[in-house]
Amino acid sequence: MSTTDQQGVAPASPVVDPEPDIPAAEAPEVPSPEAGSALSRRGFLRVSALAGLGATAATVAACTTGAAPVWTFPPAPSIEPLPTQAPTAAPTEAPTAAPSASASPAPSASASPAPSASPDLGTLQPGWTEHDLLARWKVRRYLGKLAVPLASLYPPAVTAKLAEILGVAEDYPELKELPEFAQVTQGNAPLEPTVDGDWKVFDLTIDKLPAWQIDAKTPPIEALGYNGTWPGPALRVTEGDKVRINLKNNIGETTGTHWHGVEPEDFFMDGVPFVTQLPQVPDSVETYEFVAKPYGSMMYHSHHNATYQVGHGLLGALIIDPKDPKESYKEKYGVTQEYVWISNDSVGGFTINGHGFPATVPIVAAVGERILVRYMNEGIMMHPWHSHGYRQYVVARDGAPLGSASFYCDTLGVNPGERWDVIIEAVRPGIWAFHCHILPHVEGPDGMFGMVNTLVVTPEKVDLAPLLK
Ligand SMILES: [Cu+2]
């Protein structure tokens, strides 16, 4: 759930933090937001002219960051330009059009299904095998037509190197297509409650999703969701709110809905059939009421036939903001954007928010931003989330603030049922891999898949919305 993209996310407000809790001694150096911005567009125009992509470049919608951050950064270091690459050697093998059966992994939960259409994979380079073409194709699909405008934000040498890595000179089809995360339906859309007296009321449906797309190219699967998406909408309330949630059961079988992490006074609101309630029968509406506490990252999910129902997507985020604004991540740490990553690992393979790479939503941050990621594990196994190039500052577990026990790491194991909140300070521009580090969950003979994403740190703030039309 990004707060800035158009994938249905809660707006984030600018943040102020006179006394951030991230230990000052560990605060990394941050270049100024202005660094590299003027050069970057010139540089890209040069590359795009070479690739015949000037028109795409014109769609870049970038702006400089807004008010000066209250957080005080050290002097800006210069961004070291990357060396210009030598021209690519002429190919020595004939182009390969479609992936062969032998290049695809055997079907399993850890492998992405074979694509349904033969893609244009481009030309084999010296020393490459079909694996390389398939692996590059995944990244081309991930970035789609964002590749050129995003690359253009960096200094010219960086832009040129990114263009070479992706093979932009081939003018491949995905350069004109939406990135896959924008081709598929994304969940986690914020749902505004209605108000009934002093109750905040959420109306949800429990639905069959007959053709849910894990990514845009593999055959859709039969899944389940709340309000038509997996994950369901993000429910957001404030500590102490009286919350009422009405759920209409449209899945043709019984269910029950659990509010994971919430401490309801009335245990009959806990959502466990044959423990705290009778099962919710098809076509009925079940109502749950509780006072929202404690604050933190919570979840909601089916608690009935759960291996099947949660494994198929009956899950969502419930975020309880602290009543005291001073305890919020915005106030406390200067967070400017937040993302929810709900992992699952059953019928759809290894997924973040119901999608596998390349249909995962990238984190896009300008230099100087502080990004909150709320990991939520609704799967059946642990996933160690590894951030390249950055340490994560781990500030809460299961909603409970870690306070002085907060810590830095670059790989954080998140067990089933757990929620961990981490903050990443985006200080070094670049496109950084960010993935589960159980390798069969992320990479195979046809490239990366599953629990893979990136942290894209741009020299200046970029508005993706106009680029996704
Ligand atoms: Cu994993």
**Exposure string for 419-456, b = 16+ CB within 10 A, e = fewer:** bbbbbbbbbbbbbbebbbebeebbbbbbbbbbbbbbbb
Residues 380-400 have a mean pLDDT of 98
CATH code at position 104: 2.60.40.420
Retrieve residue 208's tokens. Answer: 């069959």
More confident residue, 117 or 446: 446
Contacts of 149-152 spanning 24+ positions with Cβ under 8 A: 149/44, 149/56, 149/57, 149/59, 149/60, 149/61, 149/462, 149/467, 150/364, 150/431, 150/456, 150/458, 150/462, 151/44, 151/47, 152/40, 152/41, 152/43, 152/44, 152/45, 152/47, 152/48, 152/57, 152/60
386 Cα–ligand 1 center, Å: 10
3 Cα–ligand 1 center, Å: 24
pLDDT band at 117 (very low <50, low <70, confident <90, very high): low
Q: Name the residue among 296, 117, 301 with its Cα closest to residue 206.
A: 301
344 Cα–ligand 1 center, Å: 9
% of the chain with per-residue pLDDT over 90? 74
Q: What is the pLDDT of residues 30-70, one digit of tens each?
A: 333 333 333 333 344 444 443 444 333 333 333 333 333 33
351 Cα–ligand 1 center, Å: 9
Q: Report the pLDDT value the prediction gives residue 41, as an integer from 0 to 100.
A: 39
**Domain limit, last residue, from 301, 323, 345:** 323
Retrieve residue 303's tokens. Answer: 């608690």
Look over the chain and give the mean of its residue pLDDT values, rounded to a whole number.
82
38-47, 320-329, 439-448: the lowest-pLDDT one: 38-47
Whether residue 321 has pLDDT greater than 60:
yes
326 Cα–ligand 1 center, Å: 34
Retrieve residue 185's tokens. Answer: 């339906």
pLDDT band at 247 (very low <50, low <70, confident <90, very high): very high
350 Cα–ligand 1 center, Å: 7
Q: What range defines the domain where residue 288 resides? A: 194-323
How would you classify the pairing of strands 242-249 and 199-212?
Answer: parallel
377 Cα–ligand 1 center, Å: 10
448 Cα–ligand 1 center, Å: 13
Residues having C-beta closer than 5 Å to ion ligand 1:
383, 436, 438, 441, 451
Q: Report the pLDDT value the prediction gives residue 49, as an integer from 0 to 100.
A: 41
Whether residue 83 has pLDDT greater than 80:
no
Q: Report the pLDDT value the prediction gives residue 264, as an integer from 0 to 100.
A: 97
437 Cα–ligand 1 center, Å: 6
The verdict on residue 86 lying in a domain is: no
438 Cα–ligand 1 center, Å: 5
Whether residue 16 has pLDDT greater than 80:
no
**Using an 8 Å Cβ cutoff, are 35 and 78 in contact?**
yes
153 Cα–ligand 1 center, Å: 32
Looking at the structure, do residues 111 and 55 belong to the same domain, yes or no? yes
Give the other-Cβ count within 10 Å of 308's Cβ: 14
Counting the structural domains of the chain, the total is: 2
Looking at the structure, do residues 437 and 411 belong to the same domain, yes or no? yes
**Domain limit, last residue, from 323, 341, 361:** 323
Looking at the structure, do residues 123 and 260 belong to the same domain, yes or no? no
pLDDT band at 255 (very low <50, low <70, confident <90, very high): very high
Measured between alpha carbons, how far is 361 from 378 in angstroms, rounded to an integer?
Answer: 18
Residues 143-157 have a mean pLDDT of 96
424 Cα–ligand 1 center, Å: 20
Looking at the structure, do residues 43 and 157 belong to the same domain, yes or no? yes
353 Cα–ligand 1 center, Å: 13
pLDDT band at 389 (very low <50, low <70, confident <90, very high): very high
Looking at the structure, do residues 49 and 165 belong to the same domain, yes or no? yes
Looking at the structure, do residues 337 and 296 belong to the same domain, yes or no? no
Looking at the structure, do residues 249 and 133 belong to the same domain, yes or no? no
**Using an 8 Å Cβ cutoff, are 448 and 357 in contact?**
yes
pLDDT band at 120 (very low <50, low <70, confident <90, very high): confident
The verdict on residue 400 lying in a domain is: yes
379 Cα–ligand 1 center, Å: 10
Looking at the structure, do residues 339 and 461 belong to the same domain, yes or no? yes
Beta bridge partners of 397: 400, 420
3-state SS, 295-339, equals CEEEEEEECCCHHHHHHCCCEEEEEEECCCHHHCHHHHHCCCEEE
The verdict on residue 362 lying in a domain is: yes
The verdict on residue 269 lying in a domain is: yes
Q: How far is CA 161 from CA 37, 83, 177, 378, 452, in A?
A: 17, 8, 21, 38, 22
343 Cα–ligand 1 center, Å: 8
Looking at the structure, do residues 459 and 343 belong to the same domain, yes or no? yes
Whether residue 11 has pLDDT greater than 60:
no
The verdict on residue 455 lying in a domain is: yes
368 Cα–ligand 1 center, Å: 29
Residues 229-240 have a mean pLDDT of 98
Looking at the structure, do residues 109 and 170 belong to the same domain, yes or no? yes
Looking at the structure, do residues 270 and 252 belong to the same domain, yes or no? yes
The verdict on residue 25 lying in a domain is: no
217 Cα–ligand 1 center, Å: 22
Q: How far is CA 322 from CA 234, 295, 419, in A?
A: 16, 5, 16
441 Cα–ligand 1 center, Å: 5
98 Cα–ligand 1 center, Å: 28
Relative orientation angle of helices 156-166 and 130-143, to the nearest 10 degrees? 130
pLDDT band at 118 (very low <50, low <70, confident <90, very high): low
69-83, 143-157, 184-198, 240-254: the lowest-pLDDT one: 69-83
**Domain limit, last residue, from 290, 323, 356:** 323
356 Cα–ligand 1 center, Å: 11
Q: Measure the CA dihedral 387/390/396/401, to 10°.
A: 180
Whether residue 288 has pLDDT greater than 50:
yes
Q: Name the residue among 451, 447, 420 with its Cα closest to residue 139.
A: 447
Straight-line distance from the first to the last Cα atom of the chain, in angstroms, rounded to the nearest whole number: 19
Q: Report the pLDDT value the prediction gives residue 60, as an integer from 0 to 100.
A: 38
440 Cα–ligand 1 center, Å: 8
The verdict on residue 19 lying in a domain is: no
Retrieve residue 182's tokens. Answer: 């924008």
318 Cα–ligand 1 center, Å: 22
The verdict on residue 79 lying in a domain is: no
Q: Name the residue among 82, 113, 81 with its Cα closest to residue 99.
A: 113
32-41, 46-55, 287-296, 335-344: the lowest-pLDDT one: 32-41
| Half-sphere exposure of residue 458: CA atoms within 13 angstroms, side-chain side | 28
Looking at the structure, do residues 159 and 246 belong to the same domain, yes or no? no
Three-state secondary structure call for residue 439: helix
Residues 14-40 have a mean pLDDT of 37
276 Cα–ligand 1 center, Å: 32
pLDDT band at 119 (very low <50, low <70, confident <90, very high): confident
